[in-house]
Structure 1
């Protein structure tokens, strides 16, 4: 049976990275008995973020009230990430970036059959390598290494192509009542909010398959 999973996500959301790992674990446990097609859709955690981004310390202090509170939350995410094989290195990130261009490249990657690899590369670049993914050349380098055609990426970022996917995804989020990410839509029938455990994804898969039997 074919299953479709639509993931609403932002590339600077650490729980989205964790959710990706847990979804992958659930899919792997199906042992190839079912074809699961995963598609990633944009969600801007910071829609008013300046084009060049802002200091992560400034942003997180504003958001959580103090830098100490931000570091406490980071430590919690780091611990969960380690359990999923993700080595978060928040200390390497100096900037909280604007993610519009990253989302456009994720969309382009979907058209070129390398979306999962590009999403993974963007998560890794930001969360474990501390790269500023608001810078276009860095974005092109990261996504090209993941299999996206460098010239196609450069051409798109120098045009307005892909800008409509942001507004289209916003409409989809409103339709499904998305208020935070990650958010998963299983075969357009079951929705899951948050970085659920692999077992929860498997149960959702079973429910969809049972309803289609």
Structure 2
């Protein structure tokens, strides 16, 4: 009888829901995982929270005003958006910066992602939030909107109720984000295998697959 291949390890991605390179990195990750599956190598996947803007007001801010102040001009912000959009197109993604009106605080999104992990739909939830923000221009800081996205991603009603009706996972999200920053994570996406930092950045799928393959070999040799 055929048996499923042994899991090679737990692969975790440190990410923020408003990081465009994290969406590109996820698309490349999905390609890398597909390549490795063909070789019989699979991983347990998890997503870890990181806040690029930890001091963002709870309700978020107007994106144009925020980006103008951050980069010195709206024109410079648009130049950077164009660079991201071009990288996204190369990865098969469509960024619609023209639809993005607000820069949100991402605590609520991270809460939802964490609870989605407990419900077994975390990877799909992350993809849904990236698409909601970068392609549909939705405010992913809005709890009601996030609850709808969670339900559509397959989270059960009790998980949605825990998210929408309280503060479940808030302390865990804040604590883990701070712990990762203190551990030296200062850029996202970052990729960890069994809590060993491998690399940061949205490298092409083939290079990701090679990095994961090599990391598995090294960790297995150390354990031997």
For Structure 1 versus Structure 2, the TM-score category normalised by the shorter chain is over 0.9
Q: 1:158 aligns to what?
A: 165
Q: 1:134 aligns to what?
A: 141
Deviation digits for residues 163-212 of structure 1, max 9, x if unmatched? 1222123213322x111111111233342111122222222222123221
Higher mean C-alpha displacement, 135-144 vs 32-41: 32-41
- What is the TM-score when the length of structure 2 is the normalising length? 0.89
CA distance in 2, matches of 1:190, 1:9: 13
Q: 1:13 aligns to what?
A: 19
CA distance in 1, matches of 2:161, 2:139: 17
Residues 185 and 192 in structure 1, CA contact (< 8 A), matched pair in contact too: yes
Root mean square deviation, CA, Å = 1.5
Structure whose alpha-carbon radius of gyration is higher: 2
Provide structure 2 residue ranges, at least 5 long, that are not aligned to the other structure: 1-5
CA distance in 2, matches of 1:38, 1:108: 14
- What is the TM-score when the length of structure 1 is the normalising length? 0.94
Q: 1:26 aligns to what?
A: 32
Q: 1:35 aligns to what?
A: 42
Q: 1:84 aligns to what?
A: 91
Deviation digits for residues 17-62 of structure 1, max 9, x if unmatched? 0000111111101116112111101111111111111000011111
Q: Does 1:180 align with 2:187?
A: yes
1:94-133 matches, within 5 Å, as: 94-133=101-140
Q: Does 1:208 align with 2:215?
A: yes
Deviation digits for residues 79-126 of structure 1, max 9, x if unmatched? 110111110001001000111011001000000100011101100000
CA distance in 2, matches of 1:151, 1:137: 15
Provide structure 1 residue ranges, at least 5 long, that are not aligned to the other structure: none
Q: For the structure 1 residues 191 and 121, does the alpha-carbon distance in structure 2 shift closer, same or farther, using more than 3 Å as the test?
A: same
Residues 140 and 150 in structure 1, CA contact (< 8 A), matched pair in contact too: no
Q: For the structure 1 residues 92 and 39, does the alpha-carbon distance in structure 2 shift closer, same or farther, using more than 3 Å as the test?
A: same
Deviation at residue 137 of structure 1 after TM alignment: 0.9
CA distance in 2, matches of 1:71, 1:60: 9
Residues 4 and 186 in structure 1, CA contact (< 8 A), matched pair in contact too: yes
